[in-house]
């Protein structure tokens, strides 16, 4: 089961590399699309959570975490391209010597730029909808974003690591599942786990920050605060995807010398 999923990871990474070589603009647009999809998840999570937040309900975060799962479904079935998942796919494929590191870094950079552009684009669209003109609608969003922008750097780094470890698993584990229902349930469950745990996802943060910054916001929210958050969280997300997924699974699925010799002996005995 695991080996089949890892083969799909390689195929997906190589497919992305080919798509980039054919059309860089299309590759970047897929990254933009993924961030737009996350924007939908951010809006529905904070709009729904705000209803409970205003009442001081303990269900605020659980409800927001459940509804945010819509984002991963849109990305998985809508064809978006996320920097966070690519950190796993490209690292593993490079370690398998199916892709060169220079190409992987270029693809990662372009997906990150596309994700950022998508977040900004979605924020501008939301601004013109007028859906957040009422200050009471922004309470939960501003509360969460303000905390994110003022959390210590080291804490953000490790929250980013744990976050992308779970998010990559959310895409990886369903790869060999045949039932679409099981895939959706697994993805939403793991996304719920990262959201409710308070971990940090750089691309989701981009969306929440961009929306907050285009609205009338309190002093706890600033462009400098966004940079303060995104740098360690992005690094943490990369470590979570590349080390805890890419490197770990590459190591765990390497054939040992004894196993290789056994395969050779079996081959010779059958010859």
Q: Is residue 215 over pLDDT 70?
A: yes
Angle subtended at Cα 46 by Cα 42 and Cα 49, rounded to the nearest 5 degrees? 140
pLDDT interval class at 267 (50, 70, 90): very low
Q: How far apart are CA 219 and CA 66, in angstroms?
A: 29
Q: Is residue 265 over pLDDT 80?
A: no
Q: Is residue 7 over pLDDT 90?
A: yes
Mean pLDDT of all residues in the chain? Answer: 93
Q: How far apart are CA 66 and CA 189, in angstroms?
A: 8
At 222, give phi and psi (nearest 5°): -155, 165
Average pLDDT of the residues in 94-113: 97
pLDDT interval class at 261 (50, 70, 90): low
Q: Residue 146 maps to which CATH number?
A: 1.20.1080.10
**Roughly what angle, to the nearest 10 degrees, separates helices 83-95 and 153-172?**
70
Q: Is residue 259 over pLDDT 90?
A: no
Structure tokens at 58: 């303990």
Residue with tokens 């490079």: 94
Q: What is the pLDDT of residue 217?
A: 94
Q: Is residue 107 over pLDDT 90?
A: yes
DSSP letter, residue 80: -
DSSP letter, residue 100: -
Average pLDDT of the residues in 149-169: 98
Residue with tokens 């479904």: 73
Structural domain boundaries, residue 34: 2-270
Q: What is the pLDDT of residue 135?
A: 86
Q: Is residue 121 over pLDDT 50?
A: yes
Number of domains in the chain: 1
Average pLDDT of the residues in 151-179: 97
| 199-212 per-position pLDDT tens digit | 999 999 999 999 99
| 226-249 per-position pLDDT tens digit | 999 999 999 999 999 999 999 999
**185 class by beta-carbon count within 10 Å (0-12 exposed, 13-18 middle, 19+ buried):** middle
**Which residues, at least 6 apart from 3, have a Cβ–Cβ distance to it below 8 Å?**
253
Torsion on CA atoms 160, 163, 168, 170, rounded to nearest 10: -170
Q: Is residue 84 over pLDDT 90?
A: yes
Please give the share of the chain, as a percent, with pLDDT higher than 90: 89
| 31-64 per-position pLDDT tens digit | 999 999 999 999 999 999 999 999 999 999 999 9
Q: Are 160 and 199 in contact (CB under 8 A)?
A: yes
Q: What is the pLDDT of residue 257?
A: 55
What pTM value is reported for the model? 0.93
């Amino acid at each position: 089961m695991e080996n089949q999923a890892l083969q799909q990871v390689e195929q997906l990474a190589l497919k992305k590399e080919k798509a980039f070589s054919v059309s860089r603009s299309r590759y970047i647009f897929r990254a933009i699309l993924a961030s737009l999809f996350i924007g939908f998840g951010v809006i529905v999570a904070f709009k729904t959570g705000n209803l409970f937040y205003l009442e001081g309900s303990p269900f605020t975060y659980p409800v927001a975490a459940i509804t945010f799962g819509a984002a991963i479904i849109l990305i998985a079935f809508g064809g978006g391209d996320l920097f966070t998942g690519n950190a796993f796919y490209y690292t593993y494929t490079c370690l398998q010597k199916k892709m060169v590191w220079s190409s992987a870094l270029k693809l990662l950079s372009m997906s990150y730029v596309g994700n950022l552009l998508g977040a900004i684009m979605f924020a501008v669209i939301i601004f013109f909808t007028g859906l957040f003109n009422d200050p009471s609608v922004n309470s939960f969003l501003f509360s969460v974003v303000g905390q994110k922008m003022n959390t210590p750097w080291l804490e953000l780094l490790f929250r980013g690591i744990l976050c992308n470890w779970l998010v990559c698993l959310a895409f990886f584990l369903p790869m060999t599942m045949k039932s679409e229902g099981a895939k959706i349930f697994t993805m939403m469950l793991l996304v719920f786990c990262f959201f409710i745990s308070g971990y940090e996802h750089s691309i989701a943060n981009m969306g929440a920050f961009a929306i907050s910054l285009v609205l009338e916001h309190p002093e706890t929210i600033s462009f400098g605060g966004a940079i303060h958050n995104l740098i360690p969280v992005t690094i943490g997300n990369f470590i979570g995807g590349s080390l805890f997924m890419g490197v770990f699974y590459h190591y765990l699925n390497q054939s040992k010398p004894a196993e290789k010799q056994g395969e050779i002996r079996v081959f010779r005995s059958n010859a």
